[in-house]
Amino acid sequence: MAAVLVTGVAGFIGFHVARALLARGTTVVGVDNLNDYYDPALKQARLAALDHPQFRFIRCDFSDAPALSAALAAEPIEQIVHLGAQAGVRHSLNAPAAYVAANVAGHLNILELARARACPHLVYASSSSVYGSNRSLPFATTDAVRQPTSLYAATKAAGELMSEAYAHLFRLPQTGLRFFTVYGPWGRPDMAAWLFTAAILAGRPVQLYNSGAMKRDFSYIDDVVAGILAALDHPPRDDNSVHPGGSRSPHALYNLGAGSPQPLAALLRAVEAACGRPAHVELLPMQPGDVPSTWADITPARDDLGFAPSTTVADGVARFVDWYREFYGV
């Protein structure tokens, strides 16, 4: 049976997408290299939760083209959801080569796989970070993305350009999704909701950058997954029409966010409420690579995909904290 390939399947978003695909009866082949950017035990726990007769996991580094080709040679891949990447803005200051390998060379390898298989649709993860120092709010997919504030952002923008070239040259249908600060159960330990929760429950100070004045378009995982599946089900047409992002090739770009930016301090208050105790706050300056605000224009995603995020920060944070307490027994 033809399958959907999900890269980064042991990661936060990849895990949730694989679970949602399995729930609707889709066969899923998952690829991940299980690197140690954060605790691999969390990734292993996600894989254990994906135990299903229609799920196959392959440990593979997709930035290694020969290894990827060999690993998938016998797999009847149809569509691809490419979510694997080296994530994290700040880490890209210290390990730039890892970002070029995963996000540039790795993205190219997935494009080549999709081309070789005549894939009817490749959905791939981009990031709100591509907007960089853009001051026009809300961020629209038609905005120029030529001023990245981190190497991570530059590699994700490079991936979008590579996808545009493949859509133009080989008419490979693709949809790029710019994610905005995704959080929720099974999340990433380097993200604010997790860091705040872990610190408060352990009685450690919460490090609050820029006095909590930065704004983020916090996006709950279930809403984002619904947007990813809707995008997968709606490949862009190859009819010379202009798609979101401006391409006349079969390549569309969408923002997936809540469309409602909140101050970082508001996220902290929601975590305090969910944990039932106040935070001890340590105020720090803005970090290199950070931006003061993100805000997604989700109008194209709403119009084309029916994307309708509905989870409030208070509700989403409460669900995350409940999961965190249960997972770690605290």
Residues 249-280 as b/e (b if ≥16 CB within 10 A, e otherwise) read bbbbbbbbbbbbbbbbbbbbbbbbebbeeebe
Give bridge partners of residue 208 from the DSSP assignment. 283
| CA pair distance 9, 21, nearest whole angstrom | 12
Please, which residues have CB within 8 angstroms of residue 97's CB and are 6 or more apart in sequence?
Answer: none
Q: Please report, as a single letter, which amino acid is at residue 214.
A: M
Bridge-based pairing state of the strands 262-263 and 215-216: antiparallel
Tokens of 143: 């905005």
| CA pair distance 328, 330, nearest whole angstrom | 6
Which one, of 217, 327, 213, 220, lies nearest residue 281 by Cα?
A: 213
Selected catalytic residue, list 99, 124, 131, 152: 152
Exposed / middle / buried, residue 78 (Cβ in 10 Å: 0-12, 13-18, 19+): middle
Residue 183 is a catalytic residue: no
Active-site amino acid positions = 152
